[in-house]
Structure 1
Amino acid sequence: MDPFHHLNTSFSNPYHPLLSPSPPHHPHFPPLPPPPPLAAELPQSSAGALERERLPQWSHAETAAFLAIRAELDHSFLTTKRNKALWESVSARLGAQGFSRTPDQCKSKWKNLVTRFKGTEAAAAQPADADTAAAQAARQFPFHDEMRRIFDARAERAQALERKKAKGKDVRPEDDEGGGEGEEEEEEELEVEMGEEEGGRGGGAKKRRRKQAARTWVADQGEVEAMLREFMRRQVEMEEKWMEAAEAREAERRAREEQWRTAMVALGEERLELVRRWREREDAWRARAEEREERRHQLVAALLAKLGGDAS
C-alpha cells in the first residue's frame, strides 16, 4: 500500500480545507436585542412618566364626586393639623361611590386642581369683560366653578369669624380657620391672591394669618415651657425616689453586714469552745493512758519479782 495514499487523496479532494479558496462558512445568527432597562436605571423623568401612564386618568364624574366630598370636608382640613386621616376618609368615600383612589392620589389630585384653578384665576384677571373671562376660565378648566365655590365658602367663614371677633363674642378654637397647619402652601398663596383681587380682603387674611401665627407661636412656646417644667418636676421626683431607694438599699446592706459579722463572731466563739473541749478530752485520754501504762509496768515488775523468788 502506498504510504502517501492518504496525502494524495486529501490533496486531490477539491473540497479539502487546505485547498478551499475561501474559509469555511460559519452560520451567522442575528444579535440578541438588549434587555429592557430596570426601573432603577431609568431617569427620574422617565420613571415618573411610566408611573403616570400606569395610573388611570380621573374621569369627569370621578373628579366631580371628589370635589363634592372635598367641599364638605374643607372646614375640617383647615382646622386639623394632621390631615392624613381626612385624606383617608376622602378615599373611603370615593370607594363607596365606586371610584378606587388612594389617599396619596386624592391629595395629589387636589394639588393639581388648586394649581390649575390658580392659573385660570390669573388668566381671568387680565380680560376686561367678566363674562368673557368666566367663559375662558370654564373652557380652560371645567371645574372652575366648583373650586370657586369652595374658596368663596372659605372666605365667607373667615368674614363671619371676623364679625364675631368684632362683636366680642367668644370664638371656639375649632372655628378659627387659621390654625390648620395641614393645608398646602399653594392654597395659602392662592387665598392671598384671591383676597387681593377682591378688594383688600387678602390684607385682612394675611393679618389674620400673622396674628394666628403669633398666637400659635406663643401657645406653642407656653406648651414647651409647661412640658419642660413638667419634665424637670418629674426628673426631681425620680431623683428623690432614686435617692430614697439607694438609702434603703444601703441601710439594708449595712444591716445584713452587721448580722453577718454577729453570726461570724458567734461561729468563732463556738469553734473556740469546741477546740477547748476537744483539748480537755484529749488531755483526759492521755492521762488515763499514762495511768494504765504505769499500772501495767507495776504488774509486770511484780510478776517478774515473784517469778525470781520462786526460782531461787
Structure 2
Amino acid sequence: MDPFHHLNSSFSNPYHPLLASSPPHHFAPDPLRPPPPPPPPLPADPAPTSLERERLPQWSHAETAAFLTIRANLDHAFLSTKRNKALWEAASARLHALGFARTPDQCKSKWKNLVTRFKGTEAVVAQPDPQATAAARGSFPFHDELRRIFDARVERAHALERKKAKGKDPDDQDDGGGGGGVEGDEEDEEEEQVDDDDDDRASGETMRSGSKKRRRQKAAATRRSGLEGEVESMLREFMRRQLEMEERWLEAAEAREAERRAREEEWRAAMVALGEERLALVRRWREREDAWRARAEEREEHRHQLVAALLAKLGAGDAS
C-alpha cells in the first residue's frame, strides 16, 4: 500500500478541512502609516502629429497654376544649384504672397506629383491615337505648362552649348543705345564681365552635371550590357541543356522502340512455334483416332465372322 495514500486522498478531496477556504480577513488601517499616494492622472490626448498639423485642403486649379508659374521662373536656379531647399522656401514665400499657404515640403511634393503625372500623360500623348491624347490632356490639364517648362530647359541647354561652341565675341554685345562716355563703357564692360562670369559658372556647373550624367549613363549602359550578356549566356546555357535533354529523350525513345520491336518479334516467333506445335498435336491425335477406328472395325468384322460360324454350327447340329 502506498504510504502517502492518505495524503494524496486528503489533497485530492476538495471538502477536506485542510483545503477548506478560510474566511476573508479584514485588516484595519494602520494610523501611523501615511496614506498611499493618489493615482497618477490619465495622459491627455496626444498632440497632433506634423502630418495632421500640415494637413491642408487640396490644391486648387488657380493655386497649381500659380505654383507652376513660380516654378518656371525658378527652374534655371533649380538646375544650377544642388541644394534647393532655399528655392523651395522661396517658392513657398511667393505662394504666401499670392494668398496660398503652402510649406516648402508641400511645394516639393506637389512638383514631384505633377512631374509623375506629366510623364504618364506624355507617354499617352506620344501615341498616334487622337482620342487617347485628348483623354490624357483632359485628365491632366497642366500638361502644356509642364511641357513649356521642359522645352525652355532644353532651349537653355542648347543655347549654352551654342554659346560655348561659338565662344564669347565682344563685338556681338550690345552698346546699350549709343554713346555713353568712357564711364558708361566701363560700366557696360563690368556688367558684361559679371554676366560672363555667371554664364561661365553656370556653364561649368552644367558641364559638371552633364559629365556626371554621362558617367552615370555610361555606368548604366555598362551594367545594362553586363546584364544583357548574363541573360544571353543564361539563355544559351538553357538552350544547350534543352537540346541535350531532347537528344537524351530521343535516344531513350529510340531504345524503347527497339526493345518493343525485339519483344514483338520474340512474341511472334513464340506464337508461330506454338501454332506449329498445336498442329502437330492435332495431327497425331487424328492419326491415333484413325488407328483406333480401324482396329474397332477389324474387331467388329471378326465378331461377325464368329457369330456366323456359330450359327452355322448350330444349324448343322439341328439338321442331324
Asked if Structure 1 and Structure 2 have the same fold, meaning a TM-score greater than 0.5 normalized by the shorter chain, the answer is: no
**Range class of TM-score, shorter chain:** 0.3 to 0.5
TM-score by length of 2: 0.41
Higher relative contact order (CA 8 A, sep 6+): 1
